[in-house]
Amino acid sequence: MSRETRELVATSSRILARHGHGDFIWGHSSSRDVEGRGAWIKGSGWGLDEITPDRVHLVDRHGAVVEGEGAVQFEYPIHTEILAARPDVGGVVHTHAPHATALAAAGAELLPVSHAANYFVPPIVPRFTLTADLIMTAELGAAVAECLGGASALFLVNHGIVTVGPDLETATFAALLLEQAAEQQLRTLAFGGKPTWSEPAESLAKREHIYNPIAVRKAWDYLVRSAPTGNLG
Ligand SMILES: [Zn+2]
């Protein structure tokens, strides 16, 4: 089972890298340990595109490596505290997605100018503003989880994003959608003209039609098929 989970985290990491979430060695995704011991997450010091199953380890709520090896991410509390606060969450992604970070820093709310943002809106995507520094303590991790509430995404303003899902596959796809939505919004607003976007009722209908769980699973399968396997590790 742990091998399977390590492979999932490695695949998630490489998909995130391929779709514009890489920021040198920063950013990470995690999957809940089925035995409740913590979060399977990539070790510190590797780029998302470099992650193999052997570079994924299990970290508990106190930051101790329970299984595997490697240095622990400073920001592991984002994962462990959200998993503790949200029993419905099985996967967490934190990256410094460039367009989403820029949009949040501009103070803009995410608007459904195309399909992607309808996955999140309504409600509005919460904004965490307590600090733009690293989330390195359980207290800050708990504050992030509180700000996230029941949502599927959060802006860490002037820092990055967090997305969650019932499993890591969904959380990963959500991260890709959030970045895509932000990029489309920035392009729309930069162009000028008279921007339009969906009303809440249409957003909810589009969410059901486009991003229902079956469609999300098929999108994940596509992402896996197109993920680079390379010669890593
Ligand atoms: Zn970060």
Surrounding ion ligand 1 within 5 Å at CB are 160
CA distance 173 to 171: 6
Q: Is the pTM of this model over 0.85?
A: yes
CA distance 109 to 106: 9
CA distance 29 to 143: 19
Task: State the distance from the centre of ligand 1 to the C-alpha of 116, rounded, in angstroms.
Answer: 23
* 34 Cβ neighbours under 8 A, 6+ residues apart: 1, 5
Task: State the distance from the centre of ligand 1 to the C-alpha of 26, rounded, in angstroms.
Answer: 7
Task: State the distance from the centre of ligand 1 to the C-alpha of 170, rounded, in angstroms.
Answer: 20
Start-to-end CA span in the chain (Å)? 20
Task: State the distance from the centre of ligand 1 to the C-alpha of 229, rounded, in angstroms.
Answer: 25
Give the residue among 180, 150, 183, 169 at the shortest CA–CA distance from 215: 169
Per-residue model confidence as pLDDT tens digits over 22-77 = 999 999 999 999 999 999 999 999 999 999 999 999 999 999 999 999 999 999 99
Per-residue model confidence as pLDDT tens digits over 85-121 = 999 999 999 999 999 999 999 999 999 999 999 999 9
Task: State the distance from the centre of ligand 1 to the C-alpha of 164, rounded, in angstroms.
Answer: 15
Q: Give me the amino acid identity at 85.
A: A
